[in-house]
C-alpha cells in the first residue's frame, strides 16, 4: 500500500502522521493553519464529538469535513478509550460486558456505549478510516485478564465488522467511497496473545490493524518494539499498520522500519503549548537525516539566552514561525503568556512532524 485514500478522492502518500484534533480542532489553530503546516490529515475523537456538538449537528453538515472546513484526511477513533476510562474510574467491575460499556455522565445519566454505536457514529463523521471498538488491556493485567480483553476485542471486532458492512451497503459506500476498517490488537505485553489476536483479526478481515494508545509502553515508559514487530509479522503485506498514539519522532522512525505507516499523537500539539519545540539537528531541510541517531532536539523557547536572539528557531524548517519570526520574539510571546505563542509553536511542531514524514515518504516510495 503506497497511499492513504480518502473517501473524498484524495491519495495521501504513506507513511502519514495525523495529529489529534480530538474535538475537531487543534488547539489555537484553524483548518487553514493546519493545512499550511502540510499536515495531510487529522484524528478526531468519536466519543467527544458525540458529546459535543452531537451526531445530529455533524450529520446536518454532512460530516466532519464540511463542519470544520477541512479537506484533508480524517481518521476517527472508536471512542473506546474515553468511555473505558470513564467506566473504569466510576463504573466498577461490571461496567464492561460483552454488550458494551456502561457509565454515567453528568447531565445525561446512564449511557451504554456499544460496538454498533461506535461504528454508526464514525460513519456519521464520515472519516476515511473507521476504528473498531476494542477492550484495552490494562497495564497491570495478569495473563488471564489480558486473555479476557483479547476475547472481548475479537467479539466486538466481529460485531463492528458486520455493522460496518451493513451500513456501507445501506449508504452505497463502495470502491473509493468506502472507508478503511481498522481492527485493533490487544494482549498487553504478552506476545503470544498479541500474535493470536492479530491472526484472529486477520481471519475476520480488515483493511489494516492498529495497536497502542495507552498503555503502549511498559510501566517504566520505555517503548516495547517487540509488539509492533509481532503484529507486522503476522498480518498480510497489504495491510495498513497504524500505531495509535505513536509517538515520539524516533519511535515513529523505528516503527516505520518495522512496516508501520500510520501514526497519530498528541505530542507535537501538547508539547508546543508547554514550551517544548522539536528541531532537527541539521542546518537545512536538505540536510535532515531521520535515520541518524539523535536526529532531533528539544527547544525551550523562553530561556534567557534567547531574549535577544534574532535567529529563527530552526533553519531546517520552513514554517510560519521560522520564516517570519525570531527566537527573541517567540521568547517574548511565551513570557507574556500570549496565545499567539501557542499558535506559532504548534505550527512549528506540526511542520516538524510533516517534514519527518516527508523524509520517510521519500524513503518509502524509493524502496517500494
* Closer to Zn ion by Cβ: residue 127 or 349: 349
Question: Is-catalytic flag, 309?
Answer: no
Question: Is-catalytic flag, 77?
Answer: yes
* Closer to Zn ion by Cβ: residue 96 or 355: 355
Residue 313 CB, nearest distance to Zn ion (Å)? 6
| Contact mark string toward Zn ion, 320..339, x via CB under 5 A | -xx-----------------
Query: Given CA atoms 326, 330, 333, 335 in this order, what sign does their dihedral have?
Result: negative
* Closer to Zn ion by Cβ: residue 194 or 348: 348
* Closer to Zn ion by Cβ: residue 49 or 317: 317
By CB under 5 A, residue 317 contacts Zn ion: yes
The C-alpha atoms of residue 331 and residue 325 are separated, in whole angstroms, by: 11
Residue 279 CB, nearest distance to Zn ion (Å)? 8
Residues between 177 and 236 with contacts to Zn ion, criterion CB under 5 A: none
C-alpha cell at 196: 493470536
Residue 13 CB, nearest distance to Zn ion (Å)? 21
Which ranges of the chain does DSSP label H, i.e. alpha helix? 31-36, 46-51, 55-61, 64-68, 80-90, 115-125, 143-170, 191-204, 226-233, 249-257, 267-273, 320-324, 327-335, 339-367
The C-alpha atoms of residue 345 and residue 313 are separated, in whole angstroms, by: 10
Q: Given 77, 134, 135, 271, which residue is catalytic? A: 77
Of 10-18, 83-91, 136-144, 346-354, which part binds Zn ion (CB under 5 A)? 346-354
Q: Given 128, 134, 135, 264, which residue is catalytic? A: 264
By CB under 5 A, residue 29 contacts Zn ion: no
Alpha carbon 68 to chain centroid, angstroms: 18
Residues between 46 and 105 with contacts to Zn ion, criterion CB under 5 A: none
- In 10 A of CB 168, how many CB atoms? 18
- In 10 A of CB 39, how many CB atoms? 25
Residue 345 CB, nearest distance to Zn ion (Å)? 9
The C-alpha atoms of residue 130 and residue 75 are separated, in whole angstroms, by: 7
Q: Which of 126, 327, 343, 348 binds Zn ion (CB under 5 A)?
A: 348
Which residues pair with residue 180 across a beta bridge? 129
Give SS3 for 39.
Answer: coil
Q: Which of 75, 117, 267, 319 binds Zn ion (CB under 5 A)?
A: 319
Q: Which residues contact 117 (CB under 8 A, 6 or more apart)?
A: 100
Of 71-79, 162-170, 190-198, 309-317, which part binds Zn ion (CB under 5 A)? 309-317
Interface contacts to Zn ion, rule CB under 5 A: 317, 319, 321-322, 348
Annotated active-site positions, please?
Answer: 77, 264
Amino acid at each position: 500500500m503506497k497511499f492513504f485514500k480518502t473517501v473524498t478522492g484524495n491519495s495521501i502518500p504513506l507513511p502519514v502522521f495525523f495529529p489529534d484534533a480530538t474535538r475537531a480542532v487543534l488547539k489555537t489553530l484553524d483548518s487553514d493553519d493546519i493545512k499550511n503546516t502540510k499536515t495531510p490529515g487529522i484524528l478526531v475523537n468519536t466519543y467527544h464529538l458525540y458529546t459535543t456538538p452531537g451526531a445530529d449537528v455533524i450529520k446536518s453538515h454532512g460530516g466532519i469535513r464540511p463542519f470544520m472546513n477541512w479537506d484533508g484526511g480524517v481518521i476517527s477513533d472508536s471512542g473506546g478509550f474515553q468511555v473505558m476510562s470513564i467506566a473504569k474510574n466510576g463504573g466498577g467491575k461490571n461496567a464492561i460486558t460483552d454488550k458494551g460499556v456502561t457509565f454515567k455522565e453528568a447531565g445525561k445519566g446512564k449511557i451504554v456505549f456499544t460496538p454498533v454505536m461506535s461504528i454508526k457514529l464514525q460513519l456519521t463523521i464520515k472519516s476515511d478510516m473507521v476504528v473498531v471498538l476494542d477492550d484495552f488491556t490494562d497495564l497491570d493485567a495478569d495473563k488471564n485478564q489480558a486473555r479476557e480483553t483479547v476475547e472481548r476485542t475479537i467479539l466486538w471486532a466481529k460485531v463492528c465488522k458486520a455493522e460496518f458492512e451493513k451500513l456501507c451497503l445501506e449508504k452505497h459506500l463502495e470502491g473509493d467511497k468506502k472507508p478503511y476498517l481498522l481492527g485493533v490488537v490487544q494482549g498487553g505485553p504478552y506476545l503470544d496473545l498479541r500474535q493470536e489476536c492479530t491472526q484472529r483479526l486477520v481471519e475476520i478481515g480488515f483493511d489494516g490493524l492498529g495497536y497502542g494508545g495507552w498503555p503502549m509502553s511498559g510501566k517504566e515508559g520505555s517503548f516495547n518494539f517487540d509488539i509492533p514487530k509481532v503484529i507486522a509479522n503476522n498480518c498480510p503485506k497489504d495491510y495498513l499498520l497504524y500505531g495509535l498514539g505513536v509517538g515520539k519522532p524516533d519511535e515513529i522512525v523505528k516503527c516505520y522500519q518495522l512496516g508501520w505507516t500510520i501514526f497519530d499523537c498528541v505530542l507535537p500539539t501538547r508539547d508546543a503549548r508547554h514550551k517544548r519545540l522539536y528541531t532537527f539537528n541539521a542546518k537545512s531541510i536538505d540536510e535532515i537525516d531521520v535515520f541518524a541517531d539523535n536526529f532531533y532536539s528539544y527547544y525551550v523557547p523562553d530561556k534567557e539566552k534567547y531574549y535577544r536572539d534574532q535567529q529563527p528557531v530552526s533553519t531546517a524548517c520552513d514554517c510560519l514561525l521560522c520564516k517570519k519570526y525570531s527566537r527573541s520574539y517567540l521568547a517574548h510571546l511565551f513570557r507574556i503568556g500570549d496565545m499567539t505563542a501557542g499558535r506559532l509553536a504548534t505550527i512549528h511542531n506540526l511542520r516538524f512532524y510533516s517534514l519527518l514524514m516527508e523524509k520517510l515518504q521519500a524513503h518509502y516510495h524509493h524502496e517500494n
